Structure 1
């Protein structure tokens, strides 16, 4: 693999990992905030916290990878 491709893969991996952590944290915080309200909704009470966390982590990975690809795309457009 050449140097540019290695950097690209590293950037996508690191951004995806950051998205994974942030997505999981945000979904956990959202669940906690939902439960401490004065009148929690039925959807809030019946939601599986693990499922919601995994869902948030998945969205974070996709968002992180998309951000990395978008950043590389923008850099390539500016260099041309």
Structure 2
């Protein structure tokens, strides 16, 4: 594997992992906070916390990978 390709893979993996962690944590905290609110809505009660967390994880993964590719694209065009 070429050195530049290894760096790109490392960048994508690390940004995606950070996105997964941040997205999953934020969605999980939001669902827990929703249930502890003083006025619980029917939308809050019908949402599955596990599915909400999985959606946050997938969104974070896509955002992290997109950010990594965007940063690599910008660096490539600056050179």
- Specify the TM-score bucket, using the shorter chain as the normaliser: over 0.9
- 1:22-41 pair list within 5 angstroms: 22-41=22-41
Which ranges of 4 or more aligned residues in structure 1 deviate by more than 4 Å?
A: none
- 1:1-80 pair list within 5 angstroms: 1-79=1-79
| Long gaps (5+) in structure 2 | none
TM-score by length of 2: 0.94
- After superposition, the CA RMSD in angstroms is 0.8
SS of the residue corresponding to residue 40 of structure 1 reads coil
Structure 1 Cα separation of the partners of residues 43 and 19 of structure 2: 25
TM-score by length of 1: 0.93
